[in-house]
A and B are shown apart, each in its own frame.
Chain A
Amino acid sequence: MITLTHYLVASALLFAIGLVGILTRRNVLMILLSIELIFNAANLAFVAYARAWGDVGGQVVVFFIITVAAAEVTVGLAIAVLLSRQLKTLNADEISLLKW
């Protein structure tokens, strides 16, 4: 039997994996990917809670989050393209024209 707790633990794990990815990965694309994991952790939590409460409101929120996450990645990739054109690298450690 899979309960609410199982979903929430999975969601918390996703969140943690995303956070560790952001802190340890040095490639901009991998960092963007890790951020997606965090958004999806929130999605999973929302869907699980919505089911537990028997409320569609939480599922509606998920659609908004998916849209926002897609927009965020679009802008992020566009800036990443500009960055690789200007600096010829996507390694976060080498992006240091401004003191980081």
Chain B
Amino acid sequence: MAWSLLSVELVVCAAILLMLAADLLVPAARRDSLWWLALGGIALAAVLLARQQPSGIGQTFQAMFLVDRFAVYFKGLFLLTAAVVIIMTREFHHHLPARVGAFYILLLTALLGMLVLASVNDLLLLFIGLEILTFSLYIMAAYLKTDARSVEAGMKYLILGSVSSGFLIYGIALLYGFCGSTSFPVIRAAIANGHAPLTAQAGLLLVLAGLGFKMAAVPFHLWVPDVYEGAPTPVVALLSVGSKMAGVVATLRLLYGVFMPLQGLWGPLLAVLSAATLLYGNLAAIPQTNIKRLLGYSSIGHAGYLLMGLSTASGSGVEAVGYYLLAYLFSNLTAFFVVVVAADAVGGDALDDYRGLSRRSGWLAAAMFIALLSLAGVPPLAGFVGKLLVLLATVESRRLWLVAIGAVNVAISLYYYLMVVKRMYLDAPRENSPIRVSPLTAGTLAFLVLGILAVGIFQEPFLQTIASALQP
């Protein structure tokens, strides 16, 4: 068995165990520095991941676990997300209960789940990877255990999440009944002629329901606004970027790697869901008064664009989704980072708390401004290229009505993002004291903003990386 293929996951496991020991052994006064350990583990995993790229293409565990360029690309994005969330958590320390090590353990187990999902080649592994990720997030959402809103968010997330895992596993049972195995290659061979009995089709739909929950697609979006508002902000950042990305990656593997012959079934379905998700997310975002809730609805809207790219069932659609996720990662992490840093200084997460932010900290306001414009899809920022590629791929697949809905939603989303910008730049602040930003935070924010600009302006190298990662 090729253990080197598992090196990234094994390093993350080792970091989890080390963190468990460190949380017990390190004296309470010095526990605040445990974030170094988590970040170090991720850095080591990133080094090993980079070494995997040239030679380490293969499979292990009876072909359940697959390492190809696709997996390596998305594992890189997952590691980056987790690293940024750890630095975000450092800003958030004083809100967390005393044992902060446990929080990092959960963060790393969530990362482990995402990494497994990128390599999945078996329905059982898909289920387990998804559950490792989701269970960590349930606990993290309810982590502020004396804050009733956080606990309520955790409970709602757990109930709706468990129901969707119930759908997922029942769907897997039906697919297993159809072909006698949970392995992707066996299922692919069984449906190669493009025909599948009703039970297998129902199984596929149930599995898609479970994955749609992770992506926050209509009609499985009910948890999003409440959980985004109540859960601790770093957790929300991980949910909105990492968890959504994991759902998309697993869906890509499943639909494009296995169920391609059935695209007549899932293509139109995803297109309709995409339209519903776009309209619901963007229209419901308009009246929001809480920044986290607003970003929650906006993340539903972005799930709509991702579904649009997935529904094309074409190579250019997959590339567009890969690019979109990269742009979304930088933009959304920047926005949530500003929310974490600003929340203490401005006194809350209400949109009105952001009045006059530009006069208290020009840099924070500028970072938020760029992130929101990128999310809206304004050129030359990253989000614009992502949206453009998705729309072009949809034009290619001749679904012009969907393109029209996508274009209209760019305008709708621009409206509510600009309402936040207006508050930051035109309204008067309640107080004028400047906001202090620590060097590490400022550096990370600068890196993320540069990422938004670079992904938007220099498309060629990123496009080539993604194209080579996604073509077999």
Q: Which residues in A have some Cβ–Cβ distance to B below 8 Å?
A: 8, 11, 15, 18, 22, 28, 31-32, 35, 38-39, 41-42, 45-46, 48-49, 52-53, 55, 57-58, 60-61, 64-65, 68, 71-72, 75-76, 79-80, 82-83, 86-87, 95, 97-100
The interface size bin for chain B is: 35 or more
CA distance A42 to B164 in the complex (A): 13
Instruction: Mark each residue of chain B from 181 to 204: 1 if its CB lies under 8 Å from any CB of chain A, else 0.
Output: 110000000000000000000000
Most chain B C-beta atoms within 10 Å of own C-beta, residue among A11, A57, A68: A68
Query: Given contacts A58-B176, A68-B131, are A98 and B166 in contact (CB under 8 A)?
Result: no
Within 8 A of A (CB), among B363-381: none
* Apart from the given pairs A46-B173, A64-B128, A79-B151, 19 other A-B contacts in the complex at a CB distance below 8 Å: A28-B159, A35-B163, A38-B163, A38-B167, A39-B169, A57-B182, A60-B124, A64-B124, A72-B131, A72-B158, A75-B138, A79-B138, A83-B155, A86-B151, A86-B152, A87-B151, A98-B156, A98-B225, A100-B156
Query: Which residue of chain B has the shortest Cβ distance to A61 in the bound complex?
Result: B124
Q: Which residues in B have their C-beta under 8 angstroms from that of A60?
A: 124
Q: What 5 A-B pairs have minimum CB-CB distances, sorted nearest first? A: A38-B166, A45-B173, A49-B177, A86-B148, A53-B180
Q: Does B278 contact A (CB under 8 A)?
A: no
Q: Which residues in B have their C-beta under 8 angstroms from that of A8?
A: 177
Q: Which residues in B have some Cβ–Cβ distance to A below 8 Å?
A: 124, 127-128, 131, 135, 138-139, 142, 145-149, 151-156, 158-159, 162-163, 165-167, 169-170, 172-174, 176-177, 180-182, 225-226, 229-230
Instruction: Point out the residue from B163, B170, B226 that lies within 8 Å of A42, measured CB to CB.
Output: B170
Query: Given contacts A39-B169, A42-B166, A64-B128, are A75 and B159 in contact (CB under 8 A)?
Result: no
Q: Which residues in A have their C-beta under 8 angstroms from that of B177?
A: 8, 45, 48-49, 52
Contact A61 B139 (CB under 8 A): no
Contact A75 B166 (CB under 8 A): no
Query: Which residue of chain A has the shortest Cβ distance to B227 in the bound complex?
Result: A98
Query: Given contacts A61-B176, A68-B131, are A87 and B148 in contact (CB under 8 A)?
Result: yes
Query: Which residue of chain B has the shortest Cβ distance to A31 in the bound complex?
Result: B159
Contact A61 B158 (CB under 8 A): no
Contact A76 B148 (CB under 8 A): no
Query: Given contacts A45-B174, A57-B181, A83-B155, are A65 and B169 in contact (CB under 8 A)?
Result: yes
Contact B128 A98 (CB under 8 A): no
Contact B146 A86 (CB under 8 A): yes
Q: Which residues in B have their C-beta under 8 angstroms from that of A97?
A: 148-149, 152, 230
Contact B176 A76 (CB under 8 A): no
Instruction: Point out the residue from B153, B166, B176 that lies within 8 Å of A49, measured CB to CB.
Output: B176
Contact B226 A99 (CB under 8 A): yes
Q: Which residues in A have their C-beta under 8 angstroms from that of B148?
A: 83, 86-87, 97
